């Protein structure tokens, strides 16, 4: 597969700045809406996936990412759906690695459920992926099977081990779920830190219909943090990634723990990111519906026009999201996380 760099006219190298003065230098790109799991907070049991023709091709994804890099994007996260099941995914990683080598890109990362990581960890590391986020909500095989609707915990654990063996730093993402893992979270934190991994706890966000009531799943991390503070000493860290995470060091384990609390705090003032769906829609905010459809411009073949469309969209990035969870409330946004990419 031959992939060309973006045309010089789209390359400025300076980050885009939105109307609120925020530099936009981080892009998350969903490469597929499909997944081999069906986590209860993310997808419906009989999730309907997009026709393949609607997805951007691997070449189109490479062109689009490269245009973003030309517009000053320094960090790129590939996600999904499950990125490692997208056909040609490793070709995309291999192609994007040229931007790491040239110094145009600081970081190429991915978020994965880990089930196919064992096969790909070495190649990812070889292409320059140094950090990887793996989603794992429990260490109990039965709970894992129930939450993921059929997943095999041992595959995810083998994948995490392979990533470590390949030299990548692993961050474990955990969605806090009232009924499924609330009681096990301290043990999960202790396990991750014992293995040398960072961990981030995430509140469930109301995205897409999953067939399950969000009010029943939602666990406030403010309460969870109080529980953890009764057990351990949590020292706030200055570390910021421009995203919603706030970090602490757990003194007793020596590990880092992040909290993503979109429902209880706002984190929008320092937002540095935009997201692209697997069909090429650019969303300026995870929790808002305004978007720009980049696929027609991309398919017209003019990268300079793609760059102009991105700039125009960023110039209307909203100030903040509008998430609420409550009995009977519809999801704030109809698209599931698997389309926009977490």
Nearest Cα to Cα of residue 177 among 144, 227, 147, 218? 218
135 touching ligand SF4, by CB under 6 A: yes
- Figure out which of the listed residues 47, 66, 109, 173 binds ligand SAM, where binding follows CB under 6 A: 173
**Interface of this chain with ligand SAM, residues 293 to 322, rule: CB under 6 A:** none
Q: What SS3 class is residue 200?
A: strand
Task: Of 135, 131, 66, give the one whose Cα is nearest residue 102.
Answer: 66
Q: Is 281 helix (H, G, I), strand (E, B) or coil?
A: strand
User: Binding to ligand SAM (CB under 6 A): which residues in 267-296?
Assistant: none
Number of residues that bind ligand SF4 (CB under 6 A): 12
The bridge status of strand 16-17 relative to strand 23-24 is: antiparallel
CB of 287 to ligand SAM, least distance (A): 11
5 or 114, CB closer to ligand SF4? 114
Q: How far is the CB of 36 from ligand SF4 (least distance, A)?
A: 7
Contacts of ligand SF4 in 78-107 (CB under 6 A):
80-82
Q: How far apart are CA 323 and CA 244, in angstroms?
A: 13
75-134 residues in contact with ligand SAM (CB under 6 A) are 79-80, 82, 111-113
Q: Which does 43 bind (CB under 5 to 8 A by kind): ligand SAM, ligand SF4, none?
A: ligand SF4
258 binds ligand SAM (CB under 6 A): no
Nearest distance in Å: CB 339, ligand SAM: 9
Nearer to ligand SF4 by Cβ, of 41 and 247: the residue is: 41
Cα separations in angstroms, 279 against 46, 56, 84, 246, 247: 21, 5, 17, 31, 33
- CA distance linking residue 23 with residue 5, whole number of Å: 23
CA 332-338-339 angle, to 5 degrees, is 75
Which residue, 43 or 285, has its beta carbon nearer to ligand SF4? Answer: 43
Q: Which is nearer to ligand SF4, 149 or 178 (CB)?
A: 149
- Ordered DSSP codes for 122-146: HHHHHTT--EEEEE---S-HHHHHH
Which C-beta is closer to ligand SF4: that of 5 or that of 81? 81
- Tokens 């109301």 correspond to what residue? 206
Q: Return the half-sphere exposure (C-beta side, CA atoms, 13 A cut-off) of residue 51.
A: 2
| Options 38, 77, 116, 171; binder of ligand SF4; rule CB under 6 A | 38
Q: What is the dihedral of CA 105, 241, 215, 277, to 10 degrees?
A: -20
Answer with the entry of ligand SF4, ligand SAM, none that 38 interacts with (C-beta below 5 to 8 A by kind).
Answer: ligand SF4
Interactions with ligand SAM, residue window 202-221 (CB under 6 A) = 202, 204-205, 207
Contacts of 141 (CB under 8 A, 6+ apart): 152, 153, 154
**In this complex, which beta carbon is closest to ligand SF4, that of residue 37 or of residue 160?**
37
- Considering only 27, 43, 78, 110, the residue that binds ligand SF4 (CB under 6 A) is 43
Name the phi and psi angles at 297, rounded to 5. Answer: -65, -40
Q: Please identify, using beta-carbon distances, which residue of 5 and 208 lies nearer to ligand SF4.
A: 208
Report yes or no: 192 and 199 within 8 Å, Cβ to Cβ. yes
| Using rule CB under 6 A, residue 286 touches ligand SF4 | no
Residues making contact with ligand SAM (CB under 6 A): 35, 41-42, 79-80, 82, 111-113, 135, 173, 175, 202, 204-205, 207, 337-338, 342
């Amino acid at each position: 597969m031959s992939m060309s760099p973006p045309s010089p006219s789209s390359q400025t190298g300076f980050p885009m700045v939105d109307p609120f003065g925020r530099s936009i230098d981080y892009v998350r790109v969903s490469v597929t809406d499909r997944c081999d799991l069906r986590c209860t907070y993310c997808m419906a049991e009989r999730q309907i996936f997009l026709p393949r023709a609607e997805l951007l091709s691997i070449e189109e994804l490479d062109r689009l990412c490269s245009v973003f890099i030309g517009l000053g994007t320094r960090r790129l996260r590939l996600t999904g759906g499950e990125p490692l099941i997208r056909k040609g995914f490793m070709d995309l990683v291999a192609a994007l690695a040229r931007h790491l080598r040239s110094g145009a890109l600081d970081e190429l990362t991915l978020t994965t459920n880990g089930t196919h990581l064992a096969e790909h960890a070495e190649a990812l590391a070889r292409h320059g992926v140094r950090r990887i986020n793996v989603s794992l909500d429990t260490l109990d095989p039965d709970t894992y099977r129930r939450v993921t609707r059929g997943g095999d915990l041992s595959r995810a654990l083998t994948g995490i081990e392979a990533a470590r063996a390949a030299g990548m730093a692993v961050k474990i993402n955990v969605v806090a779920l009232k009924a499924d893992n609330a009681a096990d979270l301290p043990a999960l934190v202790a396990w991750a830190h014992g293995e040398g991994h960072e961990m981030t706890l995430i509140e469930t966000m109301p995205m897409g219909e999953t067939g399950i009531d969000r009010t029943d799943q939602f666990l406030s991390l403010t309460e969870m943090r109080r529980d953890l503070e009764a057990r351990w000493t949590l020292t706030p860290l200055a570390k910021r990634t421009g995203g919603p995470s706030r970090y602490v060091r757990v003194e007793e384990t020596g590990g880092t723990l992040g909290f993503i609390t979109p429902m209880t705090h706002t984190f929008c003032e320092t937002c540095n990111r935009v997201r692209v769906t697997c069909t090429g829609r650019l969303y300026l905010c995870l929790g808002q519906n305004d978007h720009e459809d980049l696929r027609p411009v991309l398919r017209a073949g003019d990268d300079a026009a793609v760059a102009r469309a991105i700039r125009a969209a960023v110039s209307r990035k909203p100030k903040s999201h509008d998430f609420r969870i409550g009995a009977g409330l519809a999801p704030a946004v109809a698209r599931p996380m698997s389309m926009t990419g977490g």
